[in-house]
Amino acid sequence: MVWFDLNPNADGPHEVAALVSARGVNALTGQRLTPPPRLEQYAHQCPVHAVPFTRVGTETKFCPTCNFGWAPQNYFSTTSVGRGLFWRDGFRGPDGNTREFVFTAERNRGVARAVIGDDAVDAFGVALFRSAKSKAPPVAYRTPYAFKGSPFSFGGEFGGVRLESSASHRRHLGIAERNEALEVAAGAVVDQGVRPDEHRLDFWREAPDACLILYYVGPHAFRDIAGFDGTENPADEGWLGKAGVPVGNDA
Q: Minimum mean pLDDT among 60-64, 99-103, 119-123, 237-241: which range?
A: 237-241
Query: Is residue 248 included in any domain, yes or no?
Result: no
Query: Is residue 50 included in any domain, yes or no?
Result: yes
Query: Is residue 143 included in any domain, yes or no?
Result: no
Q: How many C-alpha atoms does 199 have within 13 Å on its Cβ side?
A: 20
Q: Which domain holds residue 191?
A: 4-133+155-217
Concatenate the DSSP letters of all residues of 31-92 into one string.
-B--SSP---B-SSB-TTT-PBPEEETTEEEEETTTTEEPPSBS-EETTSS-TT--EE-EEE
Query: Is residue 180 included in any domain, yes or no?
Result: yes
Q: Tell me which residue of 46, 48, 53, 9 sits closest to 158, measured CA to CA.
A: 9
d(CA 177, CA 107): 18
Q: Minimum mean pLDDT among 72-86, 133-147, 169-183: which range?
A: 169-183
Concatenate the DSSP letters of all residues of 134-173 into one string.
PPPPPPP---S--PPP-TTS-SS---------HHHHHHHH
Q: How many C-alpha atoms does 65 have within 13 Å on its Cβ side?
A: 9
pLDDT tens readout for residues 34-74: 889 999 999 999 999 999 999 887 778 999 998 888 999 99
Q: Which amino acid is at 2?
A: V
Query: Is residue 171 included in any domain, yes or no?
Result: yes
Query: Is residue 39 included in any domain, yes or no?
Result: yes
pTM > 0.85: no
Query: Is residue 227 included in any domain, yes or no?
Result: no
CB count in 10 Å sphere of residue 194? 21
Domain count for the chain: 1
Query: Is residue 71 included in any domain, yes or no?
Result: yes
